[in-house]
Amino acid sequence: MTASLVVISPGLHTTVQDLGRCGFQDVGVPISGALDRIGLQLANALVGNARDAPALEMLLQGPSFMVAADAVRIALAGCNGCIEVDGEQARRVPAGTSVRLTRGETFRVTHLGDSACACLAIEGGIDVAPCMGSASTYVRGRIGGIGGMQLRAGTHVPLKQSSVPRRPESTLGQPFDLALDAPVRVVLGPQADYFTEAAIATFLAAEYVVSAQSDRMGFRLDGPVLQHAKGYNIVSDGIVAGSIQVPGSGVPIVLMADAQTTGGYPKIATVISADIPALGRRRPGRKLRFTAVSVPEAEDLRRAQEATLRRMMGSLRVADSQAPIDTATLLAHNLISGMVAIR
């Protein structure tokens, strides 16, 4: 029997993702990959996987599973939520800590905390065939992952390992900053000249809100309308993750992991690569502001981020074997009664 996790509830949009499908944009295939590449790599590190191993990305609402393998080890990262394990040994495992589960146990990601997305890694990885060099799911094209689709109830997520050994569990050696309130840094252009000076000043000074009309392809923003100086049509050119298009409505759209490969609307700015993971964590309704940096500054920020990530992955520590008292679980099971005298 193939080892797997059986989907009980799929969550809102749960897919298999890795670091993306590079090298095919010239034939119209998006890169895809995790919205939060930092969370993906940390989750993989916690269970001992290679940093680019396929994992499960969930958006807004977490899934639940039953373990159909002798033993699995999982870890959640990229959020401040938790894994809730059911059964006789019911417990909550916070994001940033691994846990070993055995056959028949069920667990769910109860919530993602303040984050819009998170990654769940499984030791050994998910056993799906690469498509164009990647396991990432591109739902619009039915490419990659499990049948090119998001998970559904009853889906079996195939695993590469049927069992994992007992060993001390891992946890992050330092708190993971979701950076949900930090300004989003951008490089202006490549078509900043298509906008009035007032529009650029507004873009950099105004407060925007992530719209409910947002998905892995792009985040629509609610906020001040930006005026074009030369119209809103250009000869279609290349799109990268972080490109901020402004169509005729004047409302900006930040293109994300599943973005099309070319576009014909002018781009006022591009989110720097170091800030795309933090932007991907922003829920609909979350406020954000933009601030401009230079290309050399953007490159330095990405190098610094990669150095920080390497330190975090190299400084994992053994998790406390004694789980902290979970007051919420005690209250939920009505286990508290009587009185304790304090002398």
Q: Model confidence over 164-218: pLDDT tens digits?
A: 999 999 999 988 999 999 999 999 999 999 999 999 999 999 999 999 999 999 9
Residues 117 and 226 in one domain: no
Q: Domain count of the chain? A: 2
Q: Stretch 303-313: mean pLDDT, rounded?
A: 96
Q: Which pLDDT value is given to residue 321?
A: 62
Residues 17 and 129 in one domain: yes
In a domain, 335, yes or no: no
Residues 12 and 149 in one domain: yes
Question: Of 143, 169, 195, which closes a domain?
Answer: 169
In a domain, 313, yes or no: no
pLDDT of 95 higher than 90: yes
pLDDT of 117 higher than 80: yes
Residues 128 and 263 in one domain: no
Q: Which pLDDT value is given to residue 311?
A: 96
Residues 21 and 162 in one domain: yes
Question: Of 104, 137, 169, which closes a domain?
Answer: 169
pLDDT of 329 higher than 50: no
Residues 201 and 262 in one domain: yes
Write out the residue range of the structural domain in which residue 146 sits: 4-169
Residues 199 and 293 in one domain: yes
In a domain, 153, yes or no: yes
pLDDT of 262 higher than 70: yes
Q: Which pLDDT value is given to residue 179?
A: 95
Instruction: Report CA-CA distances (Å) from 173 to 112, 113, 120, 265.
Output: 20, 20, 18, 44
Residues 294 and 161 in one domain: no
In a domain, 341, yes or no: no
Residues 164 and 193 in one domain: no
Alpha-carbon distance 42 to 60, whole Å? 19
Q: Which pLDDT value is given to residue 1?
A: 64
Residues 140 and 221 in one domain: no
- High-pLDDT (> 70) share of the chain, %: 93
Alpha-carbon distance 153 to 45, whole Å? 28
